[in-house]
Amino acid sequence: MEWALSLLLNHPEVLEKARIEIDEHVRHDRLMDEADLAHLPYLRSILNETLRMHPPAPMLVPHESSEECLVGGFRIPRGTMLSVNMWAIQNDPKLWPEPRKFRPERFDNSEGARDGFKLLPFGYGRRSCPGEGLALRVVGLALGSLIQCFEWQIDGDKMVDMTEGTGFTIPKAQPLEVTCRPRPSMLRHLSEI
């Protein structure tokens, strides 16, 4: 969530396009709900692009090879522990032109689908994260609601610092500090929460 909001604040044109999509579909007469997510493809593209640039876990859970095999021309003995560096794959310029540029449009025609093995923020197959569907719905609904209900502003004229910290999940090095105020069209709905 912090990465997505940070990227949106550094790209106000993307934030505005998402706000327009939400306003056109949901309007101002109610708060968005989970059923709206299927009708917000640009919001889904923003989530996919954020997950591509900043996966929840940059290294997938290690697996042990059950038998000897060849991977990329390398002989892997049985019992070898293998781990996939998703951050490297999802930021590889051979797979993603200009990988460090935030471009949700990369996913405009994907309808939420993953593109082969290029985007796997939750892993793949039997050992993929069982919470993927829930995570995408919760984060989509939370981010969409924040966009729908509030105006966001970076403190000062500077960009949000996108330096990555260290850790299992690669947090932002500096916490996100922004100012928000309710959108006038949403005040009535926010007061009823």
Lowest-confidence pick of 15-19, 54-58, 131-135: 54-58
Region for 150 from its dihedrals, namely left if φ exceeds 0, alpha if ψ lies in -120 to 50, beta otherwise: beta
Q: Which class is 2-57+87-191 in CATH?
A: mainly alpha
Residue 26 phi, psi dihedral angles, 5° rounding: -90, -30
Q: What is the pLDDT of residues 85-112, one digit of tens each?
A: 999 999 999 999 999 999 999 998 765 4
- Does the annotation flag 129 for ligand binding? yes
pTM for this entry? 0.91
pLDDT over 70 percentage in the chain:
96
Domain residue ranges in the chain: 2-57+87-191
CA distance 145 to 152: 12
- Answer yes or no: are the C-beta atoms of 11 and 102 closer than 8 Å: yes
Using one digit for the tens of pLDDT, what is the confidence trace for 108-144?
876 545 666 788 889 888 878 899 999 999 999 999 9
Position with higher pLDDT, 79 vs 170: 79
